[in-house]
């Protein structure tokens, strides 16, 4: 007689395309039913990619059909309700821009902007056309981290022309301010500025527009969600509970405005000593565990490297300058995981 646990064990050999992890550990198998030799499996994906669905369906059928007692195998692979709802609501959005992805965090200091600039560079180096919009109006950091100064020009259509660095088109409030000039605005001005950055910037043709949001769940976040049909949100966290607690607020914010959660990135995951020993300064595996708890993809870990900090201060992201070294490869792996969800 065939049992459900045997089917589950067999499915652990089915890897998600592009990953070393299996669909069981990813939490993609939602139900398994075994009755009179008929096995029914329900797989829920966080991507609408038909090729991925077809590949997983075929592999599931193959490994389960090989089990003694499996006379008939029925595998249903479908996008999650959140992804399906997001696709259903998606309109044409911004002309020329294929995907808009928000990079968010529940609190400051977790390295969200560091992840944004390095993901943008990694995606651009993969051959994609990429834009990066800095929506942190009060504390713009993208100009420093990308090593860009100057002011945007005005196009013939009277739109701002993004600055370009490392193959990424950039727009930030920092390009429009003089030195350390502060932005002392109330909410309505923030709302208006973000809307202008979306619709009055000549972004051209983009495969991806990454939007670096300020920390929290305030005016900037709500304005973006209401102005643009986002393809999804990426949450950046550190492993400790103090960060994870507010991550849940960010996830709930996206859910309330029907924005799919594309995944969680765990930044500052660990530090490696010269002898190879890993030190988990901020805790061990909190981001991965939270992703599993929230039933969203875990996009990867970014270890603590001094080069990441130095590159951010020098305007030279490690995804560009150390692309073939562990410091940069960590971001390229996350970019690959993100691309797989958006094909």
Which strands form 72-79's sheet, in the order they lie side by side?
29-35, 38-45, 72-79
- Please identify every stretch of the chain with a pLDDT value under 70, giving residue numbers as ranges: 18-20, 46-49, 80-93, 106, 178-188, 190, 216-223, 225-227, 343
**DSSP SS3 for 145:** helix
* pTM score, whole prediction: 0.70
Label each residue of 175-202 as H, E or C.
Answer: HCCCCCCCCCCCHHHHHHHHHHHHHCEC
Full set of structural domains in the chain with CATH: 4-79 (3.30.300.130), 87-342 (3.40.50.300)
| The two three-digit tokens of residue 31, written as one number | 């139900």
Query: 92 and 56 in contact (C-beta within 8 Å)?
Result: no
| The two three-digit tokens of residue 12, written as one number | 């652990």
Angstrom distance (rounded) from CA 186 to CA 105: 22
Q: Where are the beta strands (DSSP E) in the chain?
A: 29-35, 38-45, 72-79, 97-104, 130-134, 163-165, 168-172, 206-212, 232-237, 261-267, 271-272, 278-279, 298-302
Which among 136, 111, 117 has a CA at the least distance from the CA of 243? 111
Task: Give CA separation, 193 vs 100, 106, 154, 251, 306, in Å.
Answer: 18, 22, 16, 24, 35
Query: 77 and 45 in contact (C-beta within 8 Å)?
Result: yes
Instruction: Give the pLDDT of residue 165.
Output: 94
Query: Based on the number of CB atoms within 10 Å of its own CB, is 224 exposed (0-12), middle (13-18) or buried (19 or more)?
Result: buried
The phi and psi torsions of 38 (rounded to 5 degrees) equal -100, 125
| The two three-digit tokens of residue 138, written as one number | 């009060």
| The two three-digit tokens of residue 163, written as one number | 């600055």
**DSSP SS3 for 209:** strand
Q: Which residues pair with 32 in a beta bridge?
A: 41
Angstrom distance (rounded) from CA 85 to CA 258: 7
Instruction: Give the pLDDT of residue 91.
Output: 43
| The two three-digit tokens of residue 133, written as one number | 């919009």
Instruction: Give the pLDDT of residue 95.
Output: 79
């Amino acid at each position: 007689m065939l049992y459900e646990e045997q089917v589950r064990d067999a499915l652990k050999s089915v890897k998600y395309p592009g990953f070393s992890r299996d669909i069981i550990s990813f939490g993609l198998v939602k139900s398994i039913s075994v009755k009179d030799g008929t096995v029914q499996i329900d797989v829920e994906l966080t991507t609408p990619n038909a090729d991925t669905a077809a590949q997983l369906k075929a592999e599931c059928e193959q490994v389960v059909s090989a089990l003694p007692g499996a006379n008939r195998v029925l595998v249903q692979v479908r996008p999650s309700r959140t992804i399906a709802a997001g696709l259903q609501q998606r309109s044409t959005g911004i002309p020329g821009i294929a995907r808009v992805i928000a990079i968010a965090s529940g609190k400051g200091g977790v390295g969200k902007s560091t992840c944004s600039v390095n993901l943008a560079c990694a995606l651009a180096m993969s051959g994609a056309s990429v834009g990066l919009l800095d929506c942190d109006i009060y504390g713009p950091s993208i100009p420093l981290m990308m090593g860009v100064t100057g002011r945007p020009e005005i196009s013939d259509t009277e739109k701002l022309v993004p600055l370009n660095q490392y193959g990424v088109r950039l727009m930030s409030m920092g390009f429009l301010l003089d030195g350390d000039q502060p932005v002392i605005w109330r909410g309505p001005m923030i709302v208006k500025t973000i809307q202008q950055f979306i619709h009055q910037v000549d972004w051209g043709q983009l495969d991806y527009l990454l939007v670096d949001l300020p920390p929290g769940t305030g005016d900037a976040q709500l304005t973006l969600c209401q102005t643009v049909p986002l393809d999804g949100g990426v949450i950046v966290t550190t492993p400790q509970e103090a960060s994870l607690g507010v991550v849940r607020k960010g996830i709930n914010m996206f859910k309330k405005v029907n924005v799919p959660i594309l995944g969680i990135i765990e930044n500052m995951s660990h530090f490696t000593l010269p002898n190879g020993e890993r030190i988990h300064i901020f805790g061990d595996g909190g981001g991965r565990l939270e992703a599993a708890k929230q039933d969203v993809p875990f996009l990867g870990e970014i270890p603590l490297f001094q080069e990441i900090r130095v590159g951010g201060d020098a305007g030279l992201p490690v995804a560009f300058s150390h692309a073939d070294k562990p410091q940069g490869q960590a971001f390229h792996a996350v970019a690959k995981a993100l691309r797989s969800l958006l094909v």
